[in-house]
A and B are shown apart, each in its own frame.
Chain A
Amino acid sequence: MNSLYYQKRLSRNIGDKFFTSLSVICALIAILPLIFLVTYILIKGGSQITPELFTLEPNPPGDDLDAGGINPALIGTLIITTIASIIAIPVGVGGGIYLAEYSKGGAFPRFIRFGVNVLAGVPSIIAGVFIYALIVSTKILFGSMYSGLAGGMALSILMLPTVIKTTDEGLKLVPNELRYASLGVGASMYTTILKVTLPSAFRSIATGVVLGIARAAGETAPLIFTALFSYYYITGFGDLFYEMGSLAVLIYNFALEPYDAQNKLAWAASFILVLSILSVNIFSRILAAFTEKTKRV
Chain B
Amino acid sequence: MEEKLTLFKNRKRFGIEKNIDIIFKNTALVLSSFVAIILLGIILVVFFQSFESFSRYGLKFLVTSEWNPVKDEYGAFTAIYGTLVTSFLSLLITIPLGVGTAIFITEDFVPKVVREIIGSFVELLAAIPSVVLGLWAIFVLEPFFRAFFVFLHNFFGWIPLFSTEPTGRNSLLAILILVVMLLPIVTSIARDSLNQVPKKLRNAAYGIGASRWKTIFSVILPAALSGIMAGVLLALGRAMGETMAVTMIIGNSNAFSWSLLSPGYTISSMLANQFGEADGSQVSSLFYAAFVLMILSLVVNIFAQWLVKKFSLKY
A114 to B164, CA, bound (A): 44
Does A287 sit within 8 A of B, measured CB to CB?
no
A41 to B32, CA, bound (A): 40
Where chain A touches its partner, the secondary structure class is helix
Does A248 sit within 8 A of B, measured CB to CB?
yes
Of chain A, the residue at the smallest CB distance from B274 is A225
* Interface stretch of the complex, out of B54-62, B71-79, B122-130, B147-155: B122-130
Q: Which residues of chain A are within 8 angstroms of B159 by Cβ–Cβ distance?
A: none
* Interface stretch of the complex, out of A56-64, A65-73, A117-125: A117-125
A123 and B187 contacting across the interface, CB-CB below 8 Å = no
Q: Which residues of chain A are within 8 angstroms of B305 by Cβ–Cβ distance?
A: 114, 117-118
Q: How far is the CB of B68 from the nearest CB of chain A, in Å? A: 21
Bits for A18-38, please: 1 = Cβ < 8 Å to B, else 0. Answer: 011011111101110111110
A274 and B132 contacting across the interface, CB-CB below 8 Å = yes
B28 and A98 contacting across the interface, CB-CB below 8 Å = yes
A255 to B27, CA, bound (A): 45
B39 and A99 contacting across the interface, CB-CB below 8 Å = no
A109 to B104, CA, bound (A): 38
Q: How far is the CB of B289 from the nearest CB of chain A, in Å? A: 10
Tell me whether A256 and B248 are in contact in the complex, defined as CB-CB below 8 angstroms, given that A20-B109, A95-B34 are known contacts: yes
A window 1-47: CB within 8 A of B: 12-13, 15-16, 19-20, 22-27, 29-31, 33-37, 40-41
Q: Which residues of chain A are within 8 angstroms of B286 by Cβ–Cβ distance?
A: 129
A193 to B24, CA, bound (A): 10
Q: Which residues of chain A are within 8 angstroms of B139 by Cβ–Cβ distance?
A: 255, 263
* Interface stretch of the complex, out of A78-86, A173-181, A183-191, A233-241: A183-191
B35 and A122 contacting across the interface, CB-CB below 8 Å = no
- Which of B27, B49, B136, B294: most chain A CB closer than 10 A? B136
Does B89 sit within 8 A of A, measured CB to CB?
no
Q: How far is the CB of A248 from the nearest CB of chain B, in Å? A: 5
Q: How far is the CB of B293 from the nearest CB of chain A, in Å? A: 6
B275 and A132 contacting across the interface, CB-CB below 8 Å = yes
B42 and A270 contacting across the interface, CB-CB below 8 Å = no
Of chain B, the residue at the smallest CB distance from A127 is B42
A225 and B101 contacting across the interface, CB-CB below 8 Å = no
Q: How far is the CB of B243 from the nearest CB of chain A, in Å? A: 4
Does A155 sit within 8 A of B, measured CB to CB?
no
Pick the contact of A119 from B39, B180, B275 — CB < 8 Å? Answer: B39
Q: How far is the CB of B102 from the nearest CB of chain A, in Å? A: 9
Does A141 sit within 8 A of B, measured CB to CB?
no
A188 and B271 contacting across the interface, CB-CB below 8 Å = no
A27 and B105 contacting across the interface, CB-CB below 8 Å = yes
A270 and B132 contacting across the interface, CB-CB below 8 Å = yes
Q: Which residues of chain A are within 8 angstroms of B304 by Cβ–Cβ distance?
A: 121
A266 to B132, CA, bound (A): 9
Q: How far is the CB of A279 from the nearest CB of chain B, in Å? A: 10
* Interface stretch of the complex, out of B10-18, B197-205, B257-265: B10-18
Of chain B, the residue at the smallest CB distance from A192 is B21
B131 and A252 contacting across the interface, CB-CB below 8 Å = yes
Q: Which residues of chain B are within 8 angstroms of A25 by Cβ–Cβ distance?
A: 100
A122 to B241, CA, bound (A): 8
A37 to B38, CA, bound (A): 36
Tell me whether A281 and B124 are in contact in the complex, defined as CB-CB below 8 angstroms, given that A30-B183, A119-B35 are known contacts: yes
Q: How far is the CB of A265 from the nearest CB of chain B, in Å? A: 11
A188 and B29 contacting across the interface, CB-CB below 8 Å = no
Does A290 sit within 8 A of B, measured CB to CB?
no
B96 and A266 contacting across the interface, CB-CB below 8 Å = no
Does B98 sit within 8 A of A, measured CB to CB?
yes
Does B90 sit within 8 A of A, measured CB to CB?
no
Q: Which residues of chain B are within 8 angstroms of A211 by Cβ–Cβ distance?
A: 127
A12 and B211 contacting across the interface, CB-CB below 8 Å = yes
B window 21-63: CB within 8 A of A: 21, 24-25, 27-36, 38-39, 41-42, 45-46, 49
Does B112 sit within 8 A of A, measured CB to CB?
no
B298 and A118 contacting across the interface, CB-CB below 8 Å = yes
Does A91 sit within 8 A of B, measured CB to CB?
yes
26 A/B residue pairs, CB under 8 Å, sorted by A: A15-B211, A16-B213, A20-B213, A26-B98, A30-B125, A31-B118, A34-B122, A34-B128, A36-B140, A98-B29, A111-B36, A118-B298, A119-B35, A122-B39, A122-B241, A125-B268, A130-B42, A164-B35, A190-B24, A190-B25, A220-B129, A251-B135, A252-B248, A263-B139, A281-B124, A282-B124
Instruction: Beyond A20-B213, A220-B130, A270-B132, list 16 extra A-B contacts (CB 8 Å).
Output: A12-B211, A19-B216, A27-B101, A33-B125, A98-B31, A112-B33, A117-B301, A122-B42, A129-B286, A133-B49, A160-B35, A221-B268, A248-B129, A256-B248, A263-B139, A281-B127
* Closest CB pairs A-B (n = 3): A123-B241, A218-B129, A26-B100
User: What residues of chain B have their CB less than 8 Å away from a CB belonging to chain A?
Assistant: 11, 13, 17-18, 20-21, 24-25, 27-36, 38-39, 41-42, 45-46, 49, 96-101, 103-105, 107, 109, 118, 120-122, 124-125, 127-136, 138-140, 180, 183, 187, 211-214, 216, 234, 237-238, 240-244, 248, 268, 271-272, 275-276, 286-287, 290, 293-294, 297-298, 300-302, 304-305
